[in-house]
Amino acid sequence: MGLTSHKVLALTVLIAVAMTVGTVWLWPRLAGRSWQAVLGRIGALLGTQLTVLAALGLVANNYFAFYSSWDDLLGTGSTGPVVIHNKADASGRLLVDTIGTASVKGGGAMGREPAQSGEIRKVRIDGKTSRLSTEGYVYLPPQYFQPAYANRQFPAVIVSTGFPGIAENLITRFNYPGAALKLLQEGRMQPTVMVLVRPSPALPQDTECEDVPNGAQSDTYFTKDVPSAIQASYRVSTDPQAWAFMGNSTGGYCALKLAMRHPDVFPTAVALSAYYDAPTDDPTTGDLFGGSEQRRNEANLMWRLKNLPQPKVSVLLAGTKKGDGNYRQETEAFVDAVQSPMKVSYSLLENGGHNFETWSALLPSSLEWLSQHLKVPDTVPDRPAAPVTA
């Protein structure tokens, strides 16, 4: 029986109930002071707690779709190659602290020097316009420190976690810097500056990257403040074609929405296991739209496709066919609704839940696709990097 099978859930709940009733029924017999009675009480308590926790875990997993199978849970399954399909054309302040170099999974750091492995810097990005601020990380590729690239401007991508994840997960769980470094070494990705952040600069509220009326201006923060702060502090291109937004879950929804709203800022977006509409019944969001039905509609990406002119952007949707709720059906509907000049590509693993293992499997092919769509002008003016406050 599969991990998400209703039979498995019912059996686990039945065992948990039986253990609880059995413990209560037998407790008087285990009230003695002998070592057998003590061990009996310990065993009864442990058995009851483990079965109850297992039942709660299955309920949570079935609701949130974290893991789709036993192989997914245990990490023993094989996802196979990831194939990307293309649908036919139808300024702020940055506080920085260097924390280390990138490393390839299973292969070490390939040298400790930034010119060999790149560099990861912990930053705080303060928004000059939005007055919001969040901490994150910037990954600078090895070429950033090599003399041959001294006057080169680099493409940049803002990468967002899901909510309420922390930016550190993009390094410790995804290993974005290591994945990018490996693709660089294999010639499958161009050197790219990565800005790793969480999706809400107004915690504890989940702003869904909205400009909330009389509230946090998260859309403004990500589309104006973050790019201007990065451009002022690092040698990154100011050409919009060199910029993209990428994310998983909430971060993926933000990537799609910000690209569709601001194609002049993010003409490229990658969404891993994204959803296509902002939640309205979640206590972490509150009232994101100030009671405006129009604003509510515009946050629904399917509504935008059907009711507004489609923007000239390229997007990649990546997820699974089974194991992540209605993701496949919603994604297929989104792909079908896209028309020129918007372009959409998609990749779907056979199985996988809404979790880091699924997203990590999709990451290399997604970064390669992203790199193919980032364009830096051949001729760029010499421009020294602006000073960065440490």
Q: Tens digit of pLDDT for each residue in 287-307?
A: 888 889 999 999 999 999 999
Two tokens at 361?
């499997």
Q: Look at residue 79 and tell me if it is in a domain.
A: no
Q: Look at residue 70 and tell me if it is in a domain.
A: no
Residue 127 has pLDDT above 60, yes or no: yes
pLDDT band at residue 241, thresholds of 50, 70 and 90?
very high
Residue 375: CB atoms within 10 A of its CB come to 16
Q: Look at residue 80 and tell me if it is in a domain.
A: no
Are residues 150 and 270 located together in one domain of the fold? yes
Residue 145 has pLDDT above 90, yes or no: yes
Number of domains in the chain: 2
Q: Look at residue 382 and tell me if it is in a domain.
A: no
Are residues 208 and 315 located together in one domain of the fold? yes
> What pLDDT does residue 191 have?
97
Residue 102 has pLDDT above 60, yes or no: no
Are residues 45 and 132 located together in one domain of the fold? no
Are residues 338 and 207 located together in one domain of the fold? yes
Q: Are 82 and 349 in contact (CB under 8 A)?
A: yes
Closest CA to 241 of 217, 259, 219: 259
Q: Which amino acid is at 69?
A: S
Average pLDDT score over residue span 232-241? 95
Average pLDDT score over residue span 145-173? 92
pLDDT band at residue 193, thresholds of 50, 70 and 90?
very high
Q: Look at residue 381 and tell me if it is in a domain.
A: no
Tell me: the pLDDT tens digits for 41-50? Answer: 787 778 788 8
CATH at 244: 3.40.50.1820
Are residues 251 and 295 located together in one domain of the fold? yes
> What pLDDT does residue 64 have?
46
Are residues 10 and 154 located together in one domain of the fold? no
Q: Work out the end-to-end distance of the chain between its first and last CA atoms, rounded to an integer number of angstroms.
A: 55
Buried b / exposed e over 12-42, threshold 16 CB at 10 Å, is bbebbeebbeebeeeeeebeeeeeeeeebbe
Are residues 352 and 222 located together in one domain of the fold? yes
> What pLDDT does residue 97 have?
54
Coil, helix or strand at residue 124:
strand
pLDDT band at residue 152, thresholds of 50, 70 and 90?
very high
Residue 219: CB atoms within 10 A of its CB come to 20
Are residues 46 and 89 located together in one domain of the fold? no
Q: Look at residue 73 and tell me if it is in a domain.
A: no
Two tokens at 265?
């800022």
Are residues 14 and 141 located together in one domain of the fold? no
> What pLDDT does residue 205 have?
86
> What pLDDT does residue 173 have?
85
> What pLDDT does residue 249 have?
94
Over 282-344, what HEC string results? CCCCCCCCCCCHHHHHHCCHHHHHHHCCCCCCEEEEEEEEECCCCHHHHHHHHHHHCCCCCEE
Q: Look at residue 299 and tell me if it is in a domain.
A: yes
Average pLDDT score over residue span 135-139? 94
**Which structural domain, as residue segments, surrounds residue 282?**
85-373
pLDDT band at residue 68, thresholds of 50, 70 and 90?
very low
- The dihedral built from the CA positions of residue 319, 325, 329 and 330, taken in this order, carries a sign that is negative
Q: Look at residue 383 and tell me if it is in a domain.
A: no
The winner for highest mean pLDDT among 45-49, 198-202, 307-311, 349-353 is 307-311
Are residues 186 and 60 located together in one domain of the fold? no
Q: Answer with the residue of higher pLDDT: 29 or 164.
A: 164
Rounded CA separation 71/74 (Å): 5
**What is the value of pTM for the model shown?**
0.75
Are residues 58 and 107 located together in one domain of the fold? no
369 φψ region: left (φ > 0), alpha (ψ -120 to 50), beta (else): alpha
Residue with tokens 């507004």, as numbered in its chain: 308
Are residues 16 and 98 located together in one domain of the fold? no
Out of 85-99, 142-156, 232-246, least confident range: 85-99
